């Protein structure tokens, strides 16, 4: 029985050795598979991070409406249509409506020069030069003349 016992122990040791080798190979393959998965996960993770931190919007500068980049002076009517009509056509923020002599009368009574100064510097809700700083003072004066004379005044420049 001693020989049978030695064979069994030898077979058990051989089985343990084969199991250990197979387990080692399996472990190495598993590590290799995980490292490939991690590199894919890292790429995916990097893409998600970039998406999460990218800006929500971009600011692009464009030419202002009614800009005087050409150097050619615009008429009062052109400036009114490009800049002033946004508020003065509908009366936004209590702006006197274009052509409405009743709403313009108190302003017209202040005189042409005062209205030009208010338009250049801004007054109440109206920003300086109607919000377009590229307009010249002369273009503003022409626009005031156009708007007030269309609303009951008889100013001359």
Q: Say yes or no: 132 and 105 in one domain.
A: yes
Q: Say yes or no: 85 and 138 in one domain.
A: yes
Give the domain range for residue 38: 1-60
pLDDT string in tens for the chain (157-residue length): 567 778 888 889 999 999 999 999 998 888 877 655 555 556 677 788 888 887 777 766 555 554 555 678 999 999 999 999 999 999 888 899 999 999 999 999 999 999 899 999 999 989 999 999 999 999 999 999 999 999 998 888 7
Q: Say yes or no: 41 and 94 in one domain.
A: no
The answer to whether 82 and 66 have CB atoms below 8 angstroms apart is yes
pTM confidence score: 0.56
Q: Say yes or no: 139 and 112 in one domain.
A: yes
How many structural domains are present in the chain? 2
Residue 61: what pLDDT?
Answer: 58
Would you say residue 128 lies in a domain? yes
Residue 117: what pLDDT?
Answer: 95
Structure tokens at 14: 């051989």
Q: Say yes or no: 88 and 141 in one domain.
A: yes
Residue 1: what pLDDT?
Answer: 53
Residue 135: what pLDDT?
Answer: 93
Q: Say yes or no: 94 and 56 in one domain.
A: no
Residue-by-residue DSSP string for 3-60: HHHHHHHHHHHHHHHHHHHHHHHHHHHHHHHHHHHHHHHHHHHHHHHHHHHS-S----
């Amino acid at each position: 029985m001693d020989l049978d016992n030695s064979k069994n122990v030898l077979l058990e040791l051989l089985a343990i050795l084969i199991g250990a080798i197979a387990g080692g190979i399996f472990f190495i393959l598993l590590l290799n598979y995980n490292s490939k998965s991690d590199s894919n996960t890292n790429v995916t993770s990097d893409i998600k991070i970039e998406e999460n931190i990218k800006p929500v919007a971009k600011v692009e500068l464009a030419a202002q409406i009614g800009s005087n980049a050409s150097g050619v002076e615009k008429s009062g009517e052109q400036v009114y249509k490009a800049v002033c009509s946004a508020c003065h056509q509908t009366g936004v923020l209590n702006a006197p409506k274009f052509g409405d002599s009743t709403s313009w009368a108190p302003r017209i009574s202040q005189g042409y020069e005062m209205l030009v100064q208010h338009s250049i510097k801004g007054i109440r809700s109206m920003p300086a030069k109607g919000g377009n700083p590229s307009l010249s003072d002369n273009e503003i004066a022409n626009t005031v003349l156009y708007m007030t004379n269309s609303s009951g005044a008889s100013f001359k420049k």
